[in-house]
Amino acid sequence: MSSIVAIVGRPNVGKSTFFNRLIQRREAIVDSVSGVTRDRNYGKSEWNGKEFSVIDTGGYIKGSDDVFEGEIRRQVELAIDEADAIVFVVDVTEGITPMDEEVAKLLRKVTKPIFLAVNKVDSGSREKDAFEFYNLGLGEYFTMAGMSGSGTGDLLDALVLALPDAQEPEEDVVELPRFAVVGRPNAGKSSFINALIGEDRYIVTDIAGTTRDSIDTPYNRFGFEFNLVDTAGIRRKAKVKEDLEFYSVMRSVRAIEHSDVCILMIDATRGFEGQDQSIFWLAEKNRKGIVILVNKWDLVEKETMTTVQFEKKIREMTAPFTDVPIIFTSTITKQRLLKALETAVKVHETRKRRIPTSKFNETMLPIIEQTPPPAIKGKYIKIKYCMQLPTPTPQFVFFANLPQYVKDPYKRYIENKLREIYDFNGVPIDIYFRQK
């Protein structure tokens, strides 16, 4: 379970450049998620062997200059609340601005590790100019040049030392699968959880999860046993504006990373919006199982084919990963809540399924022989062997003589065949072609 680092500061100080540098640090584990704005706001990074999640607050600010200040304040407040460490970026070329002072005032009250990063320091004279930032009252600062990367190493060395160590599960403890209920505010997450656990409350004990702000609720009914990770119950601050996209994504990051399956709740009366899409991609990039619940279905005017049209719209917005269960529910009438649980359990089982290598080859090789990858420049691609990798999530490798010539359309063809044969509904899968 990785820590969360939030990058805060006013616009145009170089937060996104620093963020991009962090998430490209090690390509193998890097992924970033885009909202509808296509800004890269969330990613993973690693330094000195410690992995952590990074959130760039800047990409979420929308609107004209006069609303910037309020938006920034709200995002800093939420970052203070949710992150394990905060990097506050300022710009040496402009010195201390009133907005910097506002942010510093919020950060001075905080007990979490705060790192003041003075950006755009690309010469000796700029080093001297950075002294001014002692006046922010945040103690020592780090000078860096986000564009060239100079100075970022010292900052990261200090940052990872301050992050909490990942907690290892105790030996011999059977880990129950974790189902995170995620979605934007007011989609009905709390009602869903209350509807599930409300009746026989005696079998429920709220125990603090491995992190300070995820609550795991053991659920044991109807033959199911798992932990519910509730993002709705995570401390909600009245002063955090409810409809901020940043709010939903930041609250979801920890719960998603901390889960096996994500139950994404959307509000049927509002449809599948950008915020829902951001959270969906967050779960997909983290290779979690996904079930989409369209809640408040009892409030929607029914016409012929309404469910079909609604489903089609969602699949368009989640393309190319469209093989996801979509269930229409109502927490008020308790419509299809049991089906939602059954589906989540099935997705979890599928996600951890292992296919024996001999059976996998028996099934896949004839399919590949019948429809081989197209020849390129007169060269024929031969695939002789395939197997599932011993990874926590489904990953498959196909050994070929010329793997570099296997293009995306063929990879999609193989993925579709795998989904068709093995029913990977709701589970992201990875396919690799390697030199035999």
Task: Give me the CATH number covering residue 290.
Answer: 3.40.50.300
Q: What is the maximal distance between C-alpha atoms in the chain?
A: 71
Question: 65-82 vs 98-107: helix axis angle to the nearest 10?
Answer: 20
Does one domain contain both 318 and 385? no
Contact between residue 256 and residue 278 where contact means Cβ atoms under 8 Å apart: no
Q: In what order do the strands lie in the sheet with 114-119?
A: 32-34, 40-47, 50-56, 3-8, 85-91, 114-119, 141-143
Of residues 336 and 168, more confidence is placed in: 336
> Among residues 297, 243, 291, which one has the least CA distance to residue 267?
297
Which tokens in the block code for residue 66?
A: 């006069």
Range of the domain at 215: 178-352
Mean pLDDT of 17-31: 61
Sequence ranges of the binding site: 9-16, 56-60, 119-122, 183-190, 230-234, 295-298
Residues 345 and 361 in one domain: no
Phi and psi at residue 236, in whole multiples of 5°?
-105, 130
Q: What mean pLDDT value characterizes the chain?
A: 82
Asked if residue 143 and residue 25 are part of one domain, the reply reads yes
Tell me whether residue 169 is in a domain: no
Which pLDDT score is estimated for 33? 43
- Reported as a pLDDT band with limits 50, 70 and 90, residue 324 is very high
Instruction: Out of 352, 381, 400, pick the residue that ends a domain.
Output: 352
Residues annotated within the binding site for GTP are 9-16, 56-60, 119-122, 183-190, 230-234, 295-298
Between the CA of residue 110 and those of 2, 55, 80, 115, what are the distances in Å?
A: 21, 18, 7, 12
Whole-number pLDDT of residue 208: 35
What is the pLDDT confidence band of residue 61, given thresholds at 50, 70 and 90? low
How does DSSP classify residue 300? S
Give the CATH number of the domain where residue 426 resides: 3.30.300.20
Q: Are residues 319 and 376 in the same domain?
A: no
- Would you state the pLDDT for residue 29? 29
Whether the per-residue pLDDT at 288 is higher than 70: the answer is yes
pLDDT score of 245:
62
Residue 330 is classified by DSSP as B
What is the rounded CA–CA span in Å between residue 429 and residue 391? Answer: 11
In a domain, 226, yes or no: yes
Q: How many domains does the chain have?
A: 3
What φ, ψ does residue 332 adopt, rounded to 5°? -75, -50
More confident residue, 130 or 332: 130
| 215 and 327 both lie in a single domain | yes
- Residue 211 pLDDT more than 50? no
Average pLDDT of span 97-112: 91
Is 325's pLDDT higher than 80? yes
Q: Are residues 132 and 184 in the same domain?
A: no
Residue 191 within any structural domain of the chain: yes
Average pLDDT over residues 95-122: 92
Rg of the chain over CA atoms, in angstroms?
24
Looking at per-residue pLDDT, the higher value among 28 and 277 belongs to: 277
Q: What is the pLDDT of residue 183?
A: 87
What does the alpha-carbon distance between residue 161 and residue 205 come to, in Å, rounded to a whole number?
34
Q: Please determine, for residue 49, whether its predicted confidence score (pLDDT) is greater than 90.
A: no
Average pLDDT in the 283-309 region?
Answer: 88
The pLDDT tens digits for 377-395 are 888 999 999 999 999 899 9
259 shares its domain with 222? yes
Please determine, for residue 26, whether its predicted confidence score (pLDDT) is greater than 90: no
Of the pLDDT bands very low, low, confident and very high (cuts 50, 70, 90), residue 32 is very low
Query: Does 170 map to a domain?
Result: no
Domain match, 372 and 324 both: no
In percent, the amount of the chain with pLDDT more than 90 equals 45
d(CA 349, CA 377): 43
Per-residue model confidence (pLDDT) at position 244: 55
